[in-house]
Amino acid sequence: MAIPITALYAGILAFILTWLAFRAGSLRGKKKISIGDGGNVEMLEAIRRHANAVEYVPLALILIAVLELNGANSAFLHVLGIVLVIARIAHPLGLKAESMGDPRRAIGAGGTILVIVVAAGYAIWQGVGSML
């Protein structure tokens, strides 16, 4: 069975992750920091921007794929995907070492967690429903 909705958002999010990786790698070259952050706050920020996406995006995409495979409504899946993409664009723009007050960070973190919690709850509902 094909999962085109998941494929769409996985592709978009792969470009975002690649952009974050490129930015961190470019900064490594510019700052001549081979491993770790070298005590450089800018490098630490770039590492965490990329790592945070790597920590959360796969789980969200797995849940969206599970829902799609189990026949969830396509409009609902697109809402989850769009929210996740917006969140994953906003989060690195707002992630700054000197402040947690940037609203883009909150939008990014909150949107990502919202997608994961909603998708997880729906996946549980689907699973329990299919066993009854």
Q: Is residue 82 part of a domain?
A: yes
Q: How many domains does the chain have?
A: 1
Q: What are 78-121's pLDDT values in tens digits?
A: 999 999 999 999 999 999 999 889 999 999 999 999 999 999 99
pTM of the predicted model as reported, rounded to 2 decimal places: 0.95
Q: Is residue 132 part of a domain?
A: no
The answer to whether residues 108 and 92 touch, using CB atoms and an 8 Å cutoff, is yes
Q: Could you tell me if residue 102 is left (phi over 0), alpha (psi between -120 and 50 degrees) or otherwise beta?
A: beta
CATH number, domain containing residue 26: 1.20.120.550
Q: Is residue 35 part of a domain?
A: yes
Q: What are 11-35's pLDDT values in tens digits?
A: 999 999 999 999 999 999 999 999 9
Q: What's the pLDDT at 1?
A: 82
What is the residue range of 67's domain?
A: 4-127
Per-residue pLDDT for 126 more than 90? Answer: yes
Q: Could you tell me if residue 95 is left (phi over 0), alpha (psi between -120 and 50 degrees) or otherwise beta?
A: beta
